[in-house]
């Protein structure tokens, strides 16, 4: 797998850097210890601690070649590094020693290379700094400063240079590689997301084109039928296909490919249905009251079909001929329930008797309205307080793919 290969390569690079820096640090520790012993007249504790660290670290690195386990190798190097830093610090002035900077550097190096154990090092460093501070108090001190006064300046210079080397070659390179790896991963991920978004847009575009092709075929077929129920059936089916095509069109034309702004969708759908059924010169007033609501495709399509059926019934049977009429659509979020919405939709036309319902009628539109409401896990009731045919539909936003309408 590509991701696994990349991670493996990064681990190998990180291991090589760790081994190279630790070998170099061990050699510098030996040279530092020799300089202290032979040239700075520091013959107690410090040169032996530095040499001891170097020898143990080299043995640890050589042993790594046999077991190939980087974590214990790293932890052992960090532990002996901390111990050496503390020993050198307390015997070179305690809290005033220039070598004290090595303690947080070792701990920070542990955090950079291993977040899990690095946090432990950060906790330990606080205790170590306090212990170092106690050695600056005469009543508590059990150590002494073994740095001769005439060598203190040179020792401070070498200690600072040593710390700069650790900071630049260990932490600096590690942080730089980590940053580069994170930047590369982020860029690769952004490219993948962009490619997937373009692919999804292309899918929605193709689906929309296919649905429009189906709509055109239905339109051509209906032209061969002069009058009768079959012509109306084909026209109704064509409108349903277009209602679905509009959802896919809005998804690929906007930046958000998972949700659509439902107000613009309902407005476009409503205006299309009015022109399609009543003509361009009509007396139908479309009133829409929808705030900034975005719905996913699994909710948008069945809800769009529901609105399509309701508006089709209103335009064909509710508002007669060229009479003036009003269609209102109001959608709002239910304040009492999360991810639930309330749709108020209807017309001020002639209405139909209460004795007619989806169970007794042969009207496909009325049956679809109730079936689609059930598919949206909602409830529907007729609002008899208003003139015409009006519904109050409460439904939930669907988070998963729905089964076909039955």
pLDDT the model gives residue 320: 86
Q: Residue 11's pLDDT band (boundaries 50, 70, 90)?
A: low
> What Cα–Cα distance (Å) separates residue 295 from each residue in 244, 340, 380, 402?
14, 11, 19, 14
Tokens 């050699």 map to which residue? Answer: 27
Q: Which two tokens stand for residue 264?
A: 């613009």
Examine the pLDDT at 406 and tell me if it is beyond 60: no
Name, of 15-19, 117-121, 346-350, the range with top average pLDDT: 346-350
pLDDT tens-place string over residues 307-344: 999 999 899 888 988 889 999 999 999 988 888 999 99
Give the pairing type, strands 284-289 and 325-333. parallel
Alpha carbons 37 and 32: distance in angstroms, whole number: 9
Three-state SS for 315?
Answer: helix
Alpha carbons 90 and 94: distance in angstroms, whole number: 4
> What Cα–Cα distance (Å) separates residue 173 from each residue in 26, 60, 127, 170, 270?
18, 22, 28, 6, 62
Q: How many CB atoms lie within 10 A of CB 291?
A: 10
Query: Is-contact 285 316, C-beta < 8 A?
Result: no
Which residue did the predictor score with more confidence, 354 or 131? 131
What is the DSSP secondary structure assignment for residue 150, as one 8-state letter?
A: G
Domain ranges of the chain: 2-190, 260-406
What pTM does this model have?
0.56
pLDDT the model gives residue 2: 43
Q: Which two tokens stand for residue 216?
A: 């055109």
pLDDT the model gives residue 130: 85
Span 163-175, mean pLDDT? 68
Tokens 């059924």 map to which residue? Answer: 277
Q: Residue 297's pLDDT band (boundaries 50, 70, 90)?
A: confident
Query: Is-contact 143 135, C-beta < 8 A?
Result: yes
Residue 41 Ramachandran class (φ > 0 left, ψ -120 to 50 alpha, else beta): left
Span 31-50, mean pLDDT? 93
Span 158-162, mean pLDDT? 88
Span 155-182, mean pLDDT? 73
Examine the pLDDT at 398 and tell me if it is beyond 70: yes
Nearest Cα neighbor of 370 from 359, 362, 385 is 359
Span 33-60, mean pLDDT? 93
Nearest Cα neighbor of 259 from 204, 307, 309, 207 is 204
Strand partners, 393: 343, 380
208-213 contacts, C-beta under 8 A, 24 or more apart = 208/245, 208/248, 208/249, 208/252, 211/241, 211/242, 211/244, 211/245, 211/248, 212/242, 212/245
Span 66-74, mean pLDDT? 83
Examine the pLDDT at 6 and tell me if it is beyond 50: no
Q: Which two tokens stand for residue 334?
A: 């239910």
Taking each helix axis from N to C end, the angle separating 152-165 and 102-113, rounded to the nearest 10 degrees, works out to 10
Alpha carbons 207 and 249: distance in angstroms, whole number: 9
Three-state SS for 331?
Answer: strand
Q: Which two tokens stand for residue 162?
A: 């040593």
Q: How many CB atoms lie within 10 A of CB 57?
A: 22
pLDDT tens-place string over residues 189-205: 777 777 777 777 788 77
Q: Which fold has domain 260-406?
A: Heat Shock Protein 90 (3.30.565)
Q: Which two tokens stand for residue 141?
A: 């001190």
Q: Residue 110's pLDDT band (boundaries 50, 70, 90)?
A: low
Q: Residue 405's pLDDT band (boundaries 50, 70, 90)?
A: very low
Examine the pLDDT at 269 and tell me if it is beyond 80: yes
Which residue did the predictor score with more confidence, 250 or 57? 57
Burial 216-245 (b: 16+ CB within 10 A, else e): eebeeebeeeeeeeeeeebbbbbbbbbbbb
Lowest-pLDDT choice from 80-94, 102-116, 237-251, 341-355:
102-116
Which residue did the predictor score with more confidence, 136 or 48? 48
Strand partners, 331: 343
């Amino acid at each position: 797998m590509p991701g696994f290969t990349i991670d493996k390569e990064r681990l190998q690079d990180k291991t090589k850097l760790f081994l190279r820096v630790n070998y170099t640090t061990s050699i510098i520790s030996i040279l530092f210890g020799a300089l202290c012993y032979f040239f700075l007249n520091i013959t107690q504790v410090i040169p032996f601690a530095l040499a001891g660290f170097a020898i143990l670290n080299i043995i640890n690195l050589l042993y790594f070649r046999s077991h190939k386990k980087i974590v214990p190798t790293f932890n052992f190097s960090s532990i002996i590094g901390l111990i050496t830093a503390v020993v050198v610090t307390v015997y070179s002035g305690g809290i005033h020693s220039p070598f004290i900077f090595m303690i947080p550097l070792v701990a920070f190096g542990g955090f950079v290379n291993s977040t899990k154990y690095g946090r432990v090092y950060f906790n330990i460093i606080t205790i170590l700094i306090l212990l170092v501070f106690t050695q600056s108090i005469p009543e508590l001190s059990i150590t002494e400063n073994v740095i001769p006064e005439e060598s203190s300046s040179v020792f401070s210079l070498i200690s600072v240079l040593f710390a700069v080397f650790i900071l630049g070659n260990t932490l600096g390179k590690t942080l730089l590689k980590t940053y580069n790896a994170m930047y590369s991963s982020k860029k690769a991920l952004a490219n993948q997301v962009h490619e997937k978004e373009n692919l999804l847009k292309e899918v929605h575009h193709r689906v929309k084109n296919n649905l429009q092709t189906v709509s055109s075929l239905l339109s051509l077929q209906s032209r061969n039928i002069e009058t009768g129920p079959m012509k109306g059936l084909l026209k109704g089916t064509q409108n349903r296909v277009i209602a679905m095509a509009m959802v896919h069109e809005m998804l690929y034309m906007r930046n958000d490919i998972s949700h659509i702004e439902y107000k613009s969708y309902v407005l476009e759908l409503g205006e299309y249905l009015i022109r399609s059924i009543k003509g361009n010169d009509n007396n139908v007033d479309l009133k829409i009251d929808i705030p900034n609501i975005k719905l996913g495709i699994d909710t948008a399509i069945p809800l769009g079909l529901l609105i399509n059926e309701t508006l089709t019934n209103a335009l064909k049977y509710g508002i007669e001929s060229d009479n003036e009429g009003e269609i209102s659509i109001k959608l709002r979020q239910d304040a009492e329930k999360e991810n639930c919405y309330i749709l108020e939709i209807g017309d001020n036309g002639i209405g139909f008797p209460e004795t007619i319902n989806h169970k007794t009628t042969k009207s496909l539109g009325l049956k679809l309205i109730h079936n689609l409401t059930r598919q949206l896990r909602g409830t529907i009731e007729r609002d008899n307080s208003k003139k015409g045919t009006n519904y109050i539909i409460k439904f939930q936003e669907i988070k998963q793919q729905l089964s076909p309408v039955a």
